[in-house]
Amino acid sequence: MPVILVLEDDSSTRNGLVETLRSLFVGARVASGRSDAAPGIVTVERADVVLASMAAVERLYRNGAPEGVAVVALTHEMSPATLMRAEALGVAGALRVPAEAEQLTAVLGPIIDGLPH
């Protein structure tokens, strides 16, 4: 069972994402925490996919993101500079917050489908 971990400080955004992800990916376990919980929570939750703010993504990579974990950056703006920053970190994707079901499916679907079963 794939594990999706949402790291977001805003509780309404975090809860909305968790609820949406649970309805979209019923075969996955969805966990959540505040963004400052990274990177230890990634290992504890045994996450396959992490959705996190850019600041949390940067901390995660600076502290050595666990190998094989797909990281998706959550951002409030999708400027070229932000996307280049995310790409330079090596993220698997980027989503504008608030992320709608259609965008979550488009970005996370192929990632989750590509995980070993």
Q: What is the CATH number of the domain that holds 23?
A: 3.40.50.2300
- Cα–Cα dist 67/14, whole Å: 24
Residue 102: its pLDDT value, please?
96
Residue 84: its pLDDT value, please?
92
Over residues 13-24, mean pLDDT: 95
Residue 27, pLDDT above cutoff 70: yes
Which pTM does this prediction carry? 0.92
- The total of structural domains in the chain comes to 1
At residue 117 the predicted structure's pLDDT band, cuts being 50, 70 and 90, is: low
Over residues 82-105, mean pLDDT: 92
Residue 97, both tokens:
């917050």
3-state SS assignment for residue 46: coil
Over residues 89-116, mean pLDDT: 93
Q: Give the percent of the chain with pLDDT over 70.
A: 97
Residues 6+ apart with CB under 8 A from 17: 6, 8, 32, 51, 98, 99, 104
Over residues 72-92, mean pLDDT: 91
Give the strand pairing for 93-96 and 70-75.
parallel
At residue 64 the predicted structure's pLDDT band, cuts being 50, 70 and 90, is: confident
- In the chain, the amino acid numbered 72 is V
> Which domain does 55 fall in, by range?
3-113
- Cα–Cα dist 25/23, whole Å: 6
At residue 7 the predicted structure's pLDDT band, cuts being 50, 70 and 90, is: very high
